[in-house]
Amino acid sequence: MLWLLFFLVTAIRADLCQPDAENAFKVRLSIRTALGDKAYAWDTNEEYLFKAMVAFSMRKVPNRETTEISHVLLCNVTQRVSFWFVVTDPSRNHTLPAVEVQSAIRMNRNRINNAFFLNDQTLEFLRIPSTLAPPTDPSVPIWIIIFGVIFCIVLVATMLLILSGIQQHRRKNKGPSEMEDIEDKCENVITIENGIPCDPLDMKGGHINDAFVTEDERLTPL
């Protein structure tokens, strides 16, 4: 009698966890893709951990704090590694609604991934979409800052060049008018030494200035 009951229970439980059963989810792991040489083998201990993580996630849902590891059923484990799982209620006759399981897994996805050293792509829950990390948008887009810096530099350089060009123009305009006045005064090359124009000296022509000793007499002839 007891054996019959036992078989009945296992049969019912087996019925609860079937591929494509109601409220059942398929899980797929790509351990070798994720870890390469450090890949671990998938055995019953890992399955136990998985059941524990699912039970942990369900316990966080209000009204489901009494979920036990034995309430999580796994079946159809393949070489891939992939399997199906369901979560039953305490009576073990019904499976919990898919929506509850979905939201529980989504909330704790990160913890589950980390327990197995995997990520959203290598530990897939089919039919449970993962929440993607929001991009960090700074308050001021970075490109505007860099644009502003370069724009200011170029603007300042342009202004400097324009202003120096204007100054050069002004100097050129003053230059020719100044030159004209002096040209009216003297036509020849004027050499000025110590403030005294040398012109008068040139006009002397032939007179020796005794103040200067000629070089020949200074040096004793060889």
Partner 1 sequence: MRLEIKKRARGRGVGPGAMEKTRPLWATPLQFVFACISYAVGLGNVWRFPYLCQMHGGGSFLVPYVVMLVVEGMPLLYLELAVGQRTRQGSIGAWRAVSPYLSGVGVASVVVSFFLCTYYNVINAWAFWYLFHSFQDPLPWSVCPLNGNRTGYIEECEKASSTQYFWYRKTLNISPSIQESGAVQWEPALCLVLAWLVVYLCILRGTESTGKVVYFTALLPYCVLIIYLVRGLTLHGATNGLVYMFTPKMEQLANPKAWINAATQIFFSLGLGFGSLIAFASYNEPSNNCQKHAIIVSIINSSTSIFASIVTFSIYGFKATFNYESCLNKVILLLTNSFDLEDGFLTANNLEQVKDYLASAYPSKYSEVFPQIKNCSLESELETAVQGTGLAFIVYTEAIKNMKVSQLWSVLYFFMLLLLGIGSMLGNTAAILTPLTDSKVISSYLPKEAISGLVCLANCAIGMLFTMEAGSYWFDIFNDYAATLSLLLIVLVETVAVCYLYGLSRFESDLKAMTGHALNWYWKAMWGGVSPLLIISLFIFYLSDYIITGTLQYQAWDAAQGQLVTKDYPPHALAVIGLLVASSTMCIPLVALGTLITRRLRRGDPAPVA
Binding site for partner 1 (CB under 8 A): 28-33, 39, 78-82, 129-132, 134-135, 142-144, 146-147, 150-151, 154-155, 157-158, 161-162, 165, 169, 176-177, 179-180, 182-183, 186-187, 189-194
Residue number with CB closer to partner 1 (3 or 212): 212
For residue 12, the one-letter residue type is I
Closest approach, Cβ 108 to partner 1, in A, equals 17
Instruction: CB nearer to partner 1: give 79 or 214.
Output: 79
Residue 54 token pair: 């699912």
> Judged by CB, which is closer to partner 1: 8, or 199?
199
Closest C-alpha among 180, 179, 175, 202 to residue 190? 202
The answer to whether 101 touches 58, Cβ cutoff 8 Å, is yes
- For 71, left (φ over 0), alpha (ψ -120 to 50), or beta? alpha
The alpha carbon dihedral of 104, 109, 114, 120 has a sign of positive
CB 147 → partner 1: shortest distance, Å?
A: 5
Nearer to partner 1, 8 or 39 (CB): 39
DSSP assignment of 47-94 equals HHHHHHHHHHHHHTSTT-TT--GGGEEEE---SSSEEEEEEB-TTSSS
Q: How far is the CB of 101 from partner 1 (least distance, A)?
A: 17
Shortest Cβ 98–partner 1 spacing (Å) = 17
Sole residue written with tokens 């020849």: 188
Shortest Å, Cβ 183 to partner 1: 6
Q: Kindly tell me which of 12 and 156 has the beta carbon lying closer to partner 1.
A: 156
